Amino acid sequence: MTGATDRSFVRLAGVGHRYDPNPAVPPAVTGIDLDIRRHEFVAVVGPSGCGKSTLLRMVSGLLTPSEGEVSVFGLPVTGPRDDVGIVFQKPTLLPWLTVRKNVLFPLKHKYGRYGRDDEKRADELLAMAGLEAFGSKMPDELSGGMQQRVGIVRALLLNPDILLMDEPFSALDAMTREQIGFDLLKIWEEQPKTVLFITHSIAEAVLLADRVLVMSSRPGTVLDMINIDLPRPRTQKTIAELRFSELTERLRKHIYEPEAV
């Protein structure tokens, strides 16, 4: 997917953000320089409180950086964008709507209506996520992993160029988390997006990403950008490869033993 173009699609130049104006309080993030190519999958890892979610919110336009600039294809990000889809830790499905209507909700909310073509696309996305038989179900009839897949499908409905994911699998058990990771890769390979994926799981980052951004403890800054040179498509066999273990160990040392790297 990284060969789509050599031109930066998302760029952060000298980006920092301070929540507290008191200079004695360190900023959340500082001096972030990052270039993401179109249709590239970039994961972000780092210790708790290092500003991973702050980074994602600035790319989404939900948060204006205190310094530096965020741009998409050369245009400054000055607010929320229609070409950005966001998946949070919890899918926050509306319990009174069916799965299908939950997926269609962004259109209903934005335009006040949706048509047959929109319903067809929603059904196609649900089928892609293995949920074609659950469109008429209510959210409480689905498992946690299935609900999260609905959240991903909903974020894809408007066909965004950029997909931002903030620890989307953190509430799931290990087996479900691994399976939904493979589901996400399948969706991404069939409908390529530029993905920025926040996670606390080193193994998850290595399994999914083209590159992994390693952030320091607060104030968060870039420690390293590691290329994940594992062939695609990624499968269960990928996890058993020696190179997978080498990459996860390298990331662990960056986070837990930075002085040894």
What is the rounded CA–CA span in Å between residue 135 and residue 98? 7
**Segments of 79-210 assigned E as strands:** 84-87, 162-166, 194-198
Domains belonging to the chain, first-starting first, are 2-83+194-260 (3.40.50.300)
pLDDT of residue 45: 95
What mean pLDDT is reported for the chain?
89
pLDDT digits 0-9 by tens, 202-250? 999 999 999 999 999 889 999 999 999 999 999 999 999 999 999 999 9
First and final C-alpha spacing in the chain: 29
Q: Which residue type does 76 have?
A: P
Asked whether 204 and 181 are in contact (CB, 8 A), the reply is yes
Residue pointed to by tokens 């691994």: 178
pTM over 0.75? The answer is yes
What is the rounded CA–CA span in Å between residue 154 and residue 148? 10
